[in-house]
Structure 1
Amino acid sequence: MSAERVHRTTHDVTVAAPAGVVYGLISDAVQWPLYFPPNVHVEQLEFDGERERLRMWATANGEVKSWTSRRVLDAVARRVEFRQELPARPVRSMGGTWIVEPLGADRCKLTLLHDFTVDGDDPGAVAWVERATDTNSTAELANIKALAERWANLDELVLTFEDSVRVNGPAELVYDFLHRVADWPELVPHVSRLDVVEEEPGVQVMSMDTLTADGSSHTTESVRVCFPDAGRIVYKQTATPLLMSAHTGEWTVEQDETGATVVSRHSVVLREENIERVLGEGATVAAARRYVREALGRNSTATMNLAKSHAENAVTVL
């Protein structure tokens, strides 16, 4: 068996924000899909306050990859060490460290270290991983910097909400409707076009044109991860409308004794610099929050009501 060479990369950025704020962003991995462009979804499998185990989905060089990682969090030293348990090919091993170093009360340096090997140390595979690591690390650090430097009003820019619909029918039929996105242009009035690719079962990469209330159309691109046994579909928009810098969501369908409840959850980071461009001169963050809440809630509730009709009309009542 040949010994693979260990390759190492270093990326860093200076952030005009307190070290504690930056550490808070990197330590909360479940929120990464909302904060970091490459991350699609993170499931926290285990956590004891210091050590955690995560299942992660992210884009790498245009492909969706998934792996399981273990992390050790040190809040005092402001360090997070990580090691992938089950790396995605062509990676054989991957690990690294996040390090936050204070440079004063309101400035710090964030460093991201990686070490990795690939099967057989294939030069093409090494180049692929280096390119993906560089692209993702650069995007992650830039986003952390942008978010941390707005930390004083970040709560105003982050919006999370949910809507629900009660269904007098089986949960599996509701889930079926939500899962079959390729059929949505024929079934969902506000969807005018949708292209979807599912190269790996349960991972859908889609592009969709959506009609707004004023009749205009906007295009979004998303990655969806489907959990049929749990009645869940989570997604991340990888290309968002002008008003949002990030948008993640989740559909859940829960069965009970008398029917099912379908819930749509959304989390959004508003793009503050585009608020007046989209909503007009003088528009505020509060107005943008209301606009996004109403627009996303209206479309997702309409979709849930169509799923409700699909489930209820498919049931024969004797």
Structure 2
Amino acid sequence: MVNTQAPLGDSVVVDAPAKVVLDLIADTDPLHYLSPAIVYAERDITGPAQDSVTVWTITEDERVWSRIQHRTFDADGLRIAFEDAPESTLAGVRGEWILRAVSDDKTEIELRQDTSALTGSEAVARAESARSDLLSTVAFGAGNRSELADLVVDFRDPLFAAGSAEDAYKILYEADRWPERLAHVSRIDMTEDMPGIQFFDMDTTTSDGAPHTTRSVRICFPHSKIVYKQIGLPALLDAHTGHWLFTPTREGIIVESRHVAVIKRSMLSILGEGTTVEAARRYLRQALSTNSMTNLRIAKEFAEEQARA
């Protein structure tokens, strides 16, 4: 399953209660795996019924751009107003999500947007593309929530290291050196034309010997987080995103891997005839965790070696 809906108009009706839709719009975390275009979204609660959201999006020609929105919630009125911050790439864009309960289990979603503050045609086109993608993504996520609950595999693996975030980050940031450090990675072709924005093609092998070639984009936040999204996927998946998180403690650091994988139901048979979703979930959890824990152990060893030096 993948979000491949045609571009929507100003509104769409979905089979979901209004409260479910409102909660989905408020929670930006699912955007990175529900939307084909969104790499990462970060939400900061700024006050009662208010937040600030930063969204990083990838274009069709593989450019990454971001925007910052301030939002105000009217839960009773089923509305969310937003305006792009002065420092946003789409500064001045404003609008509103408006939800109308058609019935107890059906909701009309309207997304209004005013781009009159923008002066360039490229910025207007970018804002309109983002509006269409957000509306489509929310409609898809709300309307397919039951199936997605089965198909989305979301887990985290933490590992303690008696070292610094800087040293652990270095190993996971230097993905171009993974083939010499990690047995399951045979090739990486990486570019970083903009600081902190990496693209790479990678050949890997899972613990059962299955080869995979993927293409990924990563956004690197020095010494705190690296987020990624696969934009060239293995056959079994409709989406694969995640992060490397570096959290200092008084004793050292917790390095965490997160994977969010969306199973493509139509491709279950590549794991063998009769493969069920439950079997695919177990396979993915084991395969993804095995490889990323190898990365984490290398980062731990390096950080602790540097701490002893």
TM-score, normalized by length of structure 1? 0.82
Q: Is 2:23 the counterpart of 1:31?
A: no
- Which letter maps to 1:82? F
Q: Is 2:260 the counterpart of 1:260?
A: no
Distance in 2, matches of 1:52 and 1:252, equals 22
Counterpart residue number, 2:197: 203
Distance in 2, matches of 1:186 and 1:215, equals 19
Change (3 A) 1:41 1:75: same
Which residue among 134, 144, 153 is the counterpart of 1:150? 144
The Cα offsets for residues 229-264 of structure 1, whole Å up to 9 and x where unpaired, read as 5x3222233333333333321212334454433221
Shift of residue 221, structure 1, vs aligned partner: 2.8
8 Å CA contact 2:31, 2:137 repeated in 1: no
Q: Is 2:262 the counterpart of 1:269?
A: yes
The 5 A counterparts of 1:93-242 are 93-117=92-116, 121=119, 125-126=120-121, 128-229=122-223, 231-242=224-235
- Which letter maps to 1:247? H
The Cα offsets for residues 142-189 of structure 1, whole Å up to 9 and x where unpaired, read as 333333223234333333222233334433221110111121222222
Distance in 2, matches of 1:220 and 1:136, equals 25
8 Å CA contact 2:241, 2:260 repeated in 1: yes
The 3-state SS of whatever aligns with 1:17 is: coil
The Cα offsets for residues 69-125 of structure 1, whole Å up to 9 and x where unpaired, read as 101122222222211104554x45322222222333333322222222466x3xxx4
The 3-state SS of whatever aligns with 1:166 is: strand
Distance in 2, matches of 1:48 and 1:280, equals 51
8 Å CA contact 2:244, 2:255 repeated in 1: yes
Q: Percentage identity across aligned positions?
A: 35
Q: Is 2:273 the counterpart of 1:281?
A: yes
Distance in 2, matches of 1:254 and 1:147, equals 30
- Which letter maps to 1:112? L
Counterpart residue number, 1:51: 50
- Which letter maps to 2:74? D
Distance in 1, matches of 2:308 and 2:75, equals 57
The 3-state SS of whatever aligns with 2:274 is: coil
- Which letter maps to 1:217? P
8 Å CA contact 1:253, 1:260 repeated in 2: yes
8 Å CA contact 1:36, 1:139 repeated in 2: yes
Change (3 A) 1:315 1:51: closer
Deviates more, 1:308-317 or 1:287-296: 308-317
Counterpart residue number, 2:16: 17
Which residue among 290, 294, 297 is the counterpart of 1:302? 294
The 3-state SS of whatever aligns with 2:29 is: helix
Structure 1, gaps ≥5 residues long = 1-8
Change (3 A) 1:263 1:135: same
Structure 2, gaps ≥5 residues long = 1-7
Change (3 A) 1:301 1:130: same
Change (3 A) 1:86 1:242: farther
**What RMSD over aligned residues (CA atoms) do the two structures have, in Å?**
2.7
The 3-state SS of whatever aligns with 1:189 is: coil
The Cα offsets for residues 201-228 of structure 1, whole Å up to 9 and x where unpaired, read as 2232333222223433223333322222
Aligned residue-pair number: 301
Counterpart residue number, 1:66: 66
